[in-house]
Chains A and B, each alone.
Chain A
Amino acid sequence: MSRTQWLFWASLWFSLTGCSFLSKDETHAQQGIIYCSEGSPESFNPQLATSGTVTAVSHQIYNRLLEQDPVTGVFIPSLATSWTVNDASTKYRFKLRHNVSFHQTDFFQPTRDFNADDVVFTFKRIIDIYHPYRFVNGGIYPYFQSIGFTHVVKSVQKVADDEVEFLLHTPDSSFLSTLSTDFAAILSEEYGAQLELVGKHESIDNQPIGTGPFQLTEFQYDSLIRFQAHKKYWQGPPSIDHLVFDITSHNASRLGKLITGECDLIAFPSAAELELINDRPEIRLEKNTTLNVSYWAFNTKKPPFDNPKVRQALALAVNRDSILQSVYFGHATLAKSILPPVSWAFDQSLKKPEFNLEKAAQLLKESDVHEGFEMDIWAIPVSRPYNPNATKMAELLQADLAQLGIKANIISMEWATFRKHLNAGEHDSVLIGWSADNADPDNFFRPLLSCTASYSGQNRAQWCDPDFDRLLQEALTTTDVARRIAMYHQLQQLLQHENPVTPIAHSLRYQATRTNVSGVEVNQFGGISFYRAKKVAL
């Protein structure tokens, strides 16, 4: 063998054995989970944001006073162990849990456990303009402002170390739901006081301290978020030691990383990729119903859409089955009401919406809308959880309307501009939707169809019906659940009759996980919990 040949064989041998040396070593890796998430959170404090990206992160760090089962609507104790409401429904008292400790980090060592001061501190930040943190990091609390929290809550007071009291201006039956949302996370008063002393107020939201199962250890913008287990978590330490959010905004890259095992689970696999995932034995696909709806809203301020008959006719022209197939690839359920069927207030007696072009033509004729009528369909330019492809949906509608002799123009523009013009009510009709923030049915009606919402433009149908509003307000101030259910049924019947919006689909949320990971819980408002997550060797 000449020397060059020897060199060749030697390098070949080296490269081959090198590969076997590179086999995976998984003992340490088993104690941690990597979640490939879709983007960087704008803050760690959910009070300051409404996006699902923020709540997915804050859900690991913080707890709330109580939680709500999305299906039954039953409240589950969390940091509060029990609560009482007075007869007028204006005074809520919460008994707080003992022995709940806050995260202990390099920059904060708590000297006391969670108590009433923390609850008062947390909620006063939103309602009290003299609170030292009221205007820190922007001072805008979008969720609480959208539901008029400051107008509902009069005060929050400490009664004893383990008891707090909320006084309300008016009864609000969605109050407990509000406290159970991810946005009502409990902050540490002691940490706040410590930061105030050194004048680093903004750190309260950037270097968060909570009571949740994981504490933040590292954040690199657009790259990663690293957590470690909170060993003194009040429900017992989580079963994994490390949790990493690998921020991967590109859909295909997330899928790629899932396949190679660089991620243990990924956020929002896109509907078109689901088939590909299904074929892989090492990946498990889980389906979750979420509280969302996509709908077609008619601008009821503009003729002829002010005529309920015209709206009904257009609603009859929606071929929901074909939309479910081509827009959602079958990953959605048909919507009968604006309220998803999983909600406790859903009216089971609602009829399945018809697709009937003859009847539609008849109704249009009766209401003087003739062939050659032109209308605009605005389609949201972005993909949202409730509607992956509004343009395609609009094209399907366009084809069906053409059979009725209606010429539909599809309007689309850049997202921010789109919303601006939409708020100004310049549209004829729009394909849009809604994802719920909490399990209360009110969340599907008041922000979407009330008169106040029509003033702010959030009511895409510009619909304002005094009867509807009265019923809505009544349903909100009633605490008797049976009566509330009856009222919401009435509201849904009214909507099906009036058709200011015609509901189209409730999309499903998918979660793709590698089969060796279990126990990850996805809730219906987009929150994801890793507390019970486990990983075994393959």
Chain B
Amino acid sequence: MSIYIIRRLFLLVFVLTLLSIFSFSLGYLFPGDPLTNFTGQQDIPYYSVPELRQAYYLDSNIATQYIAYLTRILQGDFGISFSSGASVFEEIKRVFPATIELACYALLVSLFVGIILGSIAAMKNNSPIAKLINYIALVGQSLPIFWWALILIMFFSFQLGLFPISGRLSLLYPIQHQTGFLFVDIYLSDASYRTAALKDALRHIILPTAVLSMYPTTVMLRFTRESLLNVLDTPYIKTAKAKGMSQTQLMFRHGLRNSLLPVIKQIGLQFSTLLTMAMLTEFIFSWPGIGRWLVEAIYQRDYTAIQGGLLIVGCFIIIITVLIEIVHMILNPLARKDLYASR
């Protein structure tokens, strides 16, 4: 087991190194002076150029430059943004939690809804309800996220006036940024309008979550259904049935527990898709997360922001994927057996 983990970690380090080399080379690949691309300062006065070049080791060989780059990013120095002039790392710290928050809620919703609907579909296999659920899943999976979001906005915001269409919180409720996770920040804040802010934040999160959770819900649903159907077909379920267990007991004691293992693996696999979709969702709902931030950086040719943003998002996705794989391996005895067999 530990050997497996070490192997995974080696792979992780290797991929991260490749990613950082790519990000480093962007400094040279982007148009313009590498000094500007690395520091983010656009109008560097001529008298500070030599000093800066030295500080960034730009006159040394490429390996030294890369090491210097690594040292800088490990210290959180990604340069400053071209457009806003603020530290890129600080900006990412401000926007990234919003994305993670949104992705987490969507994931929770999709787990909850997907597993329930998936189980129903499997239990009542071939019944009209199961068919209906399957149809919905198929439609949901093929809905383009842009279109789906606009439909929801048209109906719930413009027609019914229930939910706002942009942002995480009305701008009239300034909540101090502490963790970046809005609900935690609201909980920690001592503002007099805390309850009102909480309600407002809830109203803001419903539509984006509904939009973003659509696709992963259908994935979870299909996987739960298939895996549960497989499990229900196994001899031990038949034995349990023969022993006179009720349908519910059967489901909760034997069925779900065994069928959810492949679903856990899906969480990891879906995470990168989820993050990509979160970026689209953010753009539609003006959600102040990293997706919208990156798209705007691209529009404004803000090279330092693109470079830093890509690196951090990339690293995050890789780390999460590897972590979930390890967790899956720990939880799933079958997979462990495979591992030993293949060794």
Residues on A facing B (Cβ under 8 Å): 2-4, 7-8, 11, 18-19, 21-29, 31-32, 34, 218, 220-224, 226, 242, 244, 246, 248, 253, 256-257, 259-262
Contact = CB atoms under 8 A, between A and B. Distances in A.
A313 B166 CA distance: 53
A253 B286 contact: yes
28 contacts: A4-B116, A4-B248, A19-B162, A22-B206, A23-B199, A24-B199, A24-B203, A26-B196, A27-B196, A28-B192, A32-B172, A34-B171, A218-B174, A221-B86, A224-B171, A242-B172, A242-B174, A244-B171, A244-B172, A256-B157, A259-B158, A260-B157, A260-B163, A260-B164, A260-B165, A262-B164, A262-B165, A262-B170
Given A28-B173, A221-B86, A222-B83, A262 B248 contact: no
B116 A25 contact: no
Interface in B202-258: 202-203, 206, 247-248
B296 interface: yes
B84 interface: yes
Contact of B116 (A7, A28, A29): A7
A254 to B, nearest CB: 10
Given A21-B202, A25-B195, 18 more contacts: A4-B116, A22-B162, A22-B202, A29-B172, A34-B170, A34-B171, A34-B172, A221-B84, A221-B86, A226-B174, A242-B172, A242-B174, A256-B157, A256-B166, A257-B165, A260-B158, A260-B163, A260-B164
Contacts of B296: 222
B196 A28 contact: yes
A28 B172 contact: yes
A24 B161 CA distance: 11
Most central of B173, B174, B202 by chain A CB within 10 Å: B174
B200 interface: yes
Most central of A8, A23, A25, A261 by chain B CB within 10 Å: A25
A246 B83 CA distance: 18
Contacts of B164: 257, 260-262
A34 B200 CA distance: 15
- Interface band, chain B: 35 or more
Most central of A26, A218, A223, A224 by chain B CB within 10 Å: A223
Nearest to A33: B172
B161 A25 contact: no
B171 A3 contact: no
B312 to A, nearest CB: 19
Contact of B288 (A26, A223, A261): A223
Contacts of B28: none
B92 to A, nearest CB: 14
A22 B204 CA distance: 10
B262 interface: no
A246 B84 CA distance: 16
B120 interface: yes
B193 A28 contact: yes
Contacts, number: 91
Closest 6 pairs (CB-CB, A-B): A221-B84, A25-B196, A28-B193, A32-B172, A244-B171, A29-B172
Contacts of B173: 28-29
B49 to A, nearest CB: 20
B158 A256 contact: yes
Given A7-B116, A32-B172, A256-B157, A262 B167 contact: yes
Given A4-B120, A242-B172, A261-B161, A21 B83 contact: no
Nearest to A206: B85
A148 to B, nearest CB: 28
Given A223-B288, A256-B165, A260-B164, A25 B199 contact: yes
Contacts of A222: 83-84, 296
Contacts of B123: 4
B95 to A, nearest CB: 10
Interface in B55-105: 83-86
Nearest to B119: A4
Most central of B123, B166, B206 by chain A CB within 10 Å: B166
Interface string B108-138: 0000000010011001000000000000000
A221 B158 contact: no
A25 B203 CA distance: 11
A25 B173 CA distance: 11
A233 to B, nearest CB: 20
Contacts of A8: 116
A261 to B, nearest CB: 7
A221 B172 contact: no
B199 A246 contact: no
Contacts of A218: 174
A242 B161 CA distance: 24
B290 to A, nearest CB: 14
A256 to B, nearest CB: 5
Contacts of B195: 25
Nearest to B81: A221
Contact of A262 (B162, B166, B174): B166
Nearest to A19: B162
Given A3-B248, A22-B202, A260-B157, A221 B170 contact: no
Contacts of A262: 164-167, 170
Contacts of B165: 253, 256-257, 260, 262
B196 A29 contact: yes
Contacts of A29: 170, 172-173, 196
A260 B200 contact: no
A222 B163 CA distance: 23
Contact of A260 (B161, B199, B247): B161
A26 B116 CA distance: 37
Interface in B172-191: 172-174
Contacts of A224: 171
A242 B171 CA distance: 10
A29 B247 CA distance: 52
A164 B196 CA distance: 50
Contact of B171 (A19, A226, A260): A226
A18 B195 CA distance: 14
A221 B83 contact: yes
A410 to B, nearest CB: 29
A25 B153 CA distance: 21
A28 B85 CA distance: 33
A178 B144 CA distance: 55
Most central of B119, B120, B157 by chain A CB within 10 Å: B157
Contact of A253 (B86, B166, B248): B166
A7 B195 CA distance: 28
A238 to B, nearest CB: 15
Contact of A246 (B119, B171, B203): B171
B167 A25 contact: no
A4 B248 CA distance: 8
A28 B248 CA distance: 49
Contacts of A256: 153, 157-158, 165-166
A2 B248 contact: yes
A408 B94 CA distance: 54
Contacts of A3: 248
Contact of A25 (B162, B200, B248): B200
A19 B157 CA distance: 14
Contacts of A260: 157-158, 161, 163-165
Contact of B166 (A23, A25, A226, A257): A257
A371 B173 CA distance: 67
